[in-house]
């Protein structure tokens, strides 16, 4: 089972001069076993099963959904990590990294975007956002406001057709 989501619109970019910082933020995230939902993380959200020794740092028994447990060793840059998460990204002419698409089961995309909030806040737009639609047509958007990563529910309102 799973829940499919699609990114329908975004204006967020990672500025070229922030790509190294973005990569570091995404790699540092791998220390956060409490956020992982794969392996021991499964239904316990990073808590170690009863009778097991707690796991510190990256380990092959805990990982983010759909990610390799050692993704910082496998991925050379922020683009490679975001592609593993499920995003289609592209470098723009000025070296900025843009988000193109996400059409996958939900996994850890929101956690990785939240980790990027400090660099997304510095992009050349007033309000960086990601607009999503779920398989049941629910809508929401993530926005970066003053470096905080927020989620807003969406509502569709149809006007009078006459």
pLDDT value of position 74: 96
What's the predicted TM-score (pTM) here? 0.88
Q: Is the pLDDT of residue 43 over 60?
A: no
Classify residue 138 by burial, with Cβ atoms within 10 Å: 0-12, 13-18, 19+.
middle
pLDDT value of position 61: 79
For the chain, the distance separating the N- and C-terminal CA atoms, rounded to the nearest angstrom, is 42
Q: List the chain domain ranges.
A: 4-153
Banded model confidence at residue 65, pLDDT cuts 50, 70, 90: confident
Q: What Å distances lie between residue 7 and 102, 133, 134, CA to CA?
A: 5, 7, 9
Percent of the chain topping pLDDT 90: 60
The rounded distance, in Å, linking the Cα atoms of 80 and 87 is 9
Cβ(18)–Cβ(115) below 8 Å: no
pLDDT value of position 1: 63
What values do phi and psi take at 11, rounded to 5?
Answer: -120, 5
HEC profile of 116-140: CHHHHCCCCCCCCEEEEEECCCCEE
């Amino acid at each position: 089972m799973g829940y499919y989501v699609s990114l329908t619109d975004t204006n967020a970019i990672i500025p070229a001069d922030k790509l190294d910082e973005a990569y570091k933020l995404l790699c540092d995230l791998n220390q956060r076993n409490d956020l992982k939902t794969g392996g021991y993380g499964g239904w316990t959200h990073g808590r170690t099963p009863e009778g097991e020794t707690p796991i510190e740092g990256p380990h092959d028994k805990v990982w983010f959904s759909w990610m390799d447990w050692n993704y910082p060793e496998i991925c050379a840059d922020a683009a490679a990590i975001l592609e593993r998460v499920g995003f289609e990204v592209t470098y723009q002419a000025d070296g900025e990294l843009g988000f193109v698409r996400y059409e996958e089961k939900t996994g850890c995309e929101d956690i990785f975007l939240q980790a990027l909030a400090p660099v997304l806040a510095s992009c050349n737009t007033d309000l960086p956002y990601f607009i999503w639609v779920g398989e049941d047509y629910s809508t929401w958007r993530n926005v970066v406001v003053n470096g905080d990563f927020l989620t807003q529910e969406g509502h569709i309102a149809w006007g009078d057709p006459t």
